[in-house]
Amino acid sequence: MDAELIARISPEHRDRLAWFEEHQDKVSPVPGRLATLPLVSPAKGIYKPADLPYALSIKVKVHSRYQDGVPVPTPGGGWVLEYHQENPRPGRDTTSANEGLVRCIADRVPVGVLRERLPAVHHARYDVLGLALPVRRSAGRFYFESLNPKAMPVIDPVSDVLVAMASAEVDQEVAAEGRAPDDDYDARRRVVREIVARWGQPGFRAVLREAYRGRCAITGYDAAEALEAAHLRPYRGPESNVVNNGLLLRADIHTLFDLPLLAVDPVTRSVVVSKLLAGTHYEGLSGSQLAEPAEARQRPDQEALEKAWQRFRQAEDSR
């Protein structure tokens, strides 16, 4: 911890954060107390002590309804982490734990981070990742950057996060089955299965490919294997798979659209890119015009575009 941080937090707070620094890279059961002061919440992922205005620690659970992310390495040995807020239900996310993390963001106060180890045969054990700084909150998730080593900007944060999450899912699958793929053929089958699932419903993707003449609606790319069916309104069953509720998008653009780090202005039909992507090659897409089907009935639904736009603007305001 730097001297400036030490000067503006209480001695009790400083000593508890110091435990995570001192035990970084070690394996630990759920930590108990430092003197009489707890370090984590036994029941919850985010621990906000009653005696502090800030959150103190988070636990990253591998199997959880919250679907927390995995630490994504950055150049220099640091890492970044995506972490679900407490209480996933929309409109009910104003909890003391979430508010404690929001104060950490505002005042640049770090928290201790633990990540669950598998398999947990009898009692849970955790990797102590050290201290991380919560840097923003968006769409129900908090984003953290390691302090030691300090996280450096990654070349393509979206791709890196996706690769790390996919690797973690494969690791979990292998752990559940108790074995790795038997051979290269089995491994390739898994890859194909995952790609097909990402493409979306075959029929929906097919009608979008026809409507958009086999090209990404934003970039114009025409490699069929890289194009996916994106929903404007979230998928709510087969009735969602209508052409005016979809866009044909290149895989990485689909990801940015869903996060949401990219949107279409419903008035001008031009692309707007998040400020978080400033300085990346995606910034060059800002202002480009959405390519739409020739038939009016196949063009994106205005109300659906407006809702997607509103979701993007709300996310931008919180970044």
Q: Hey, how many other C-beta atoms are within 10 angstroms of the C-beta on 58?
A: 29
pLDDT band at 81 (very low <50, low <70, confident <90, very high): confident
Whether pLDDT at 285 is above 90 = yes
pLDDT tens, position by position, 99-109 = 999 999 999 99
Nearest of 126, 52, 55 to residue 86 by alpha carbon: 55
Poorest-confidence range of 95-99, 170-174, 295-299?
170-174
Residue 222: C-alpha distances to residues 136, 249, 253 (Å): 35, 10, 13
pLDDT at residue number 157: 45
Whether pLDDT at 161 is above 80 = no
**More confident call, 28 vs 108:** 108
- Answer whether 0.75 is exceeded by the pTM: no
pLDDT at residue number 214: 94
pLDDT tens, position by position, 46-65 = 999 998 999 999 998 876 66
d(CA 200, CA 318): 30
pLDDT at residue number 155: 40
| Interacting residues of 168 by C-beta distance below 8 A, sequence separation 6+ | 70
Q: What is the dihedral of CA 53, 54, 56, 61, to 10 degrees?
A: 120
| Interacting residues of 263 by C-beta distance below 8 A, sequence separation 6+ | 257, 271, 272, 308, 309, 311, 312, 313
Structure tokens, 155: 């070349």
Most confident of 132-136, 225-229, 263-267: 263-267
Mean pLDDT of 198-203: 58
Domains of the chain: 3-153 (2.30.280), 195-317 (no CATH)
pLDDT at residue number 150: 83
pLDDT band at 258 (very low <50, low <70, confident <90, very high): confident
User: What are the E-state strand segments in 6-124?
Assistant: 27-29, 33-34, 37-38, 46-47, 57-60, 72-73, 79-84, 111-116
